[in-house]
Amino acid sequence: MTYFDGFVVPVPEANKDAYRQSAADGATLFQEFGVQRHIEAWESDVPEGKVTDFHRSVQKKEGEAVLFSWIEWPSKEVRDAGMKALMEDERMKTLTMPFDGQRMIFGGFTPVVETGSAEGLGYADGFIVPVPGANREAYVRMASDAARVFAEYGATRVVEAWGDDVPEGKVTDFRRSVEAKDGEVIVFSWIEWPSKQVRNEAWPTIMADPRMQPDKATMPFDGQRMIHGGFATILDT
């Protein structure tokens, strides 16, 4: 089963090209250890939230942009072995880091919904969701139904990935990003679109679709603490 490492990164806007080059260099190395795909997506349409948002998740500073990124492995076993080998590889020390690594948030995730094709990504909607562990089945049902609707309106792929190896950070982390409570699990999720235009044209229709009208009484998570935004792809291996 596919396994994902997810990241949210604060990058100075002036370092965009340097970040893209560093990520491309890293992707070449990661592929040697089993990574199948590496995506980096740059902040494009990332709103401020009343309770939580992507900006606060990494304590974004003036002049910085938020990156939504993920790495795809063929399995958790390959990922665990690959990460161990990468951390011991001397070439990792030569990779530049044009951002504040202390404020990057990261974790490992197991897919619970994975539909569509991984080809043709031009734009992504990214989400981080706090879901009570007891609501896993209800959340998967809701997410599966929504994925079918997204596909009807042009989405090429939808992934919902359940927190599996999500560490606490000294400064920032996934749990703090959504003010996770005891018993809640982090879901790292995204929708892939062929372009921002397709995505922008689809969303008003999606939100008007009766199938997407939320029933607050049965929602399996706290939508006020979900964070979301749109991101333009700058690297897709």
Tens digits of residue pLDDT in 102-142 = 999 999 999 999 999 988 789 999 999 999 999 999 999 99
> What percent of the chain has a predicted confidence (pLDDT) above 90?
95
Task: Please state which CATH class domain 3-236 belongs to.
Answer: alpha beta
- Check residue 54 and give left, alpha or beta (phi > 0: left; psi -120 to 50: alpha): alpha
Segments making up each domain of the chain, as ranges: 3-236
* Cα–Cα distance for residue pair 51/59, rounded to 1 Å: 14
Tens digits of residue pLDDT in 196-232 = 999 999 999 999 999 999 888 899 999 999 999 999 9
Give the pLDDT mean for 69-73.
98
- Check residue 70 and give left, alpha or beta (phi > 0: left; psi -120 to 50: alpha): beta
Q: First CA to last CA across the chain, in angstroms? A: 20
Percent helix, strand and coil across the chain, each rounded to 5?
35, 35, 30
Tens digits of residue pLDDT in 17-57 = 999 999 999 999 999 999 999 999 999 999 999 999 999 99
> What percent of the chain has a predicted confidence (pLDDT) above 70?
100
CB 227 within 8 A of CB 54: yes
How many residues appear in the chain?
A: 237
Please give the sequence-ordered ranges of beta strands (E in DSSP) within 50-122, or none if there are none.
Answer: 64-73, 105-116
